Structure 1
C-alpha cells in the first residue's frame, strides 16, 4: 500500500467546509469521490487542517492510502480531470507510510483579505471582506505584533475540546496595505478553531479605533474564552501553506 499526499487549491464558496458534512457539499467528499473514480477504491482522505464553510485554500494538504500503482503525474492529471472546477490538485508526492498531514505539520499560514473602500467591489466579493469605514493599518500592525510568541490564545479562539491546551506559538503576524486592500497574515504551529477570523475581527475594531491599542496585550495576559469577536466573515480567509520538515508545502517523498 502507498501513502499519497496532495497539495490542494480550492475556492470554498460553494462548500460547507473541508470535512465531510451530512447536509452540505464538502471538499473531502469531492476528493474522495474523484479518488474512487480514478482508482476504484473507497478511501478516507485526511486533511492538514479543517477549513470552515466559505474558506479558501492555496496550500491545503490531504493524504490517503491506496493500492493503485499509478505514477504521481497520473494521480495529478487524473484527479484534476475528475474534480469540480473549484478544486484542483497542484502537486503530489508519495509520502512515507503513516504520514499524517495534521500531526506532522510544522506550521500553518493563513492570509485574510479586506477590501477597505466606501464602495463594494463585485470582482472581489468572493475573496475579500468589504469594510467601508476607513481603517488605520499602522494601528492594526502594531496590535498584531503582540501576537508573536508562545501565548495562551483562549481569548481569540473557540475551545479545542475539554482538557485541551489553548496555548499556541505564533511565528509571524503582519498587517499590510496595498491601495484599498489590507492583508492580514499569520503563521503559527497551530490555531484554535475560529482563531484567525476572530483575530481579524478584533484587528478591524482596533483599526477603526473602537478598541484601544494595547487590547491584545491585555487579552493575552488575562485569557478569557470568547473575549475577541465577532469573527470576520469566512470568505476573506485563505489557508496559504502548511509547512513540513524541510520547509516545503508537502512531506519529503519516499526514495
Structure 2
C-alpha cells in the first residue's frame, strides 16, 4: 500500500531535506525512524526539497510498504524514533496513483523577518533579520510585480536543476505584526533559492536602496547578477504543497498556528 505523511521540522541542525552521506538531513532522520518502526528499509519521496536551515511546517512524503499498521500508529510509532525537532503530523493511506511531488498543483512558503536594531536571540535561526526600517508600501509595490507567469532566471541559483525557469507566482502577501514581517508565497513551483533571492530584493526595496519598479527590471534582466544577494535561510518555512481536493489530504497542521 502507499502512505502519505505530513512532516514538520526545525531545519537549523540539518543539511537540508535530501539524503546525504553524512546522514545529517531530515530525510535521513525520517527514513531511519520509519525503518526502525517498520522493521525494514523505507524510501520516501518528498513534495519539495528544502535547503539547510529552512524549516518545514508540512512537508509531504509518500512511500510504499507491505507493513500493515493503523494510520495513527505510523504517526506515534515513527515519532518515537525521531529527534525532538522532527515530527510526523499525520498519516494517510492513499491510492497508488498519488505522488507527493507530481500530484501537487502548487507549493506554499512563508518568510518571517524581524525588523529590529538588535539581533534575534530567542528567535535566532527562526527569523531573518534586518536592522534598518522597512517601507511596507514599497515592499508591497515591489512584490506585486512578481505576480503572474515570469522567467525567474534572475532569482535562480546556479545549481538549480529545474527544467524551466518559467514559473507562475499566484500569491505574494505582505503583513506586519510589531517588529515582525511575514511574506507569504504561493506558486505552481519554485526554483532553487528563488524565495531567498526574492527576499534579498524585497529587503533592498524596503530599505530604499532601489525603487519598487526595480523588481520589474530584475525580472526582465534574466540574470542572477541583476538581483540582490541571497537572503538568509533562517526565516523561511515550507508551508506545504497544494493538492486537489480529491486526494483528501490535510492542508495545514498545528505547527502553522505559532508563527505570527
Tell me what 2:54 maps to.
55
User: Could you tell me the TM-score, scaled by structure 1's length?
Assistant: 0.93
In the alignment of these two chains, the number of paired residues is 250
1:92 aligns with 2:73: no
Which SS does the other structure have where 2:61 is aligned? strand
Residue 216 of structure 1, CA deviation: 1.5
Tell me what 1:171 maps to.
170
Farther off after superposition, 91-100 or 78-87: 91-100
Residue 251 of structure 1, CA deviation: 7.8
1:81 aligns with 2:80: yes
Tell me what 2:258 maps to.
none
Farther off after superposition, 135-144 or 242-251: 242-251
Tell me what 1:213 maps to.
212
Tell me what 2:256 maps to.
none
* Cα gap change, 1:171 to 1:249, in 2 (>3 Å): farther
Tell me what 1:65 maps to.
64
Tell me what 1:123 maps to.
122
Residue 247 of structure 1, CA deviation: 8.2
Alpha-carbon distance between aligned partners in 2 of 1:15 and 1:249, rounded to the nearest angstrom: 30
Residue 98 of structure 1, CA deviation: 4.0
Which SS does the other structure have where 1:75 is aligned? helix
1:132 aligns with 2:163: no
Tell me what 1:25 maps to.
24
User: Could you tell me the TM-score, scaled by structure 2's length?
Assistant: 0.91
Answer yes or no: is the 8 Å Cα contact 2:176–2:182 preserved in 1. Answer: yes
Q: Which runs of 5+ in 2 are unaligned?
A: 252-260
* Cα gap change, 1:248 to 1:238, in 2 (>3 Å): farther
Alignment deviations for residues 48-86 of structure 1 (CA, whole Å, 9 cap, x no partner): 001000100101101111110001011011011111100
Alpha-carbon distance between aligned partners in 1 of 2:209 and 2:155, rounded to the nearest angstrom: 17
Cα RMSD (Å): 1.8
Alpha-carbon distance between aligned partners in 2 of 1:6 and 1:210, rounded to the nearest angstrom: 43
Alignment deviations for residues 212-255 of structure 1 (CA, whole Å, 9 cap, x no partner): 22012122233224432311111110001211011878389xxx
